[in-house]
Amino acid sequence: MICNNVNNISFIGMAGVGKSYFSNKLINFGYEHIKVDELITNLANLKGVNKETISDSEFIKLEEQAILNLKEVSESAIDTGGSVIYSNEAMELLKEISVVVYLKDSLENIKKRFDVRGEPHLIGIEGKTFEELFQERSEQYQKYADVIIDVTKISDIEEILSIIGSKSQK
88-97 residue pLDDT tens: 999 999 999 9
Tell which CATH classification among 2.60.40.4070, 3.50.50.60, 3.40.50.300, 2.170.120.12 matches the domain 8-168: 3.40.50.300
Q: Is the pTM of this model over 0.85?
A: yes
Look at residue 2 and tell me whether its pLDDT is greater than 50: no
Q: What is the mean pLDDT of residues 125-136?
A: 90
Task: With H, G, I as helix, E, B as strand and everything else as coil, classify residue 103.
Answer: strand
Give the whole-angstrom CA distance, residue 97 versus residue 143: 17
pLDDT by residue (tens digit) across 76-130? 999 999 999 999 999 999 999 999 999 999 999 998 887 666 556 688 888 888 8
- At 33, give phi and psi (nearest 5°): -95, 110
For residues 148 and 102, is the Cβ–Cβ distance under 8 A? yes
CA dist list (Å): 140 to 102, 117, 144: 10, 24, 6
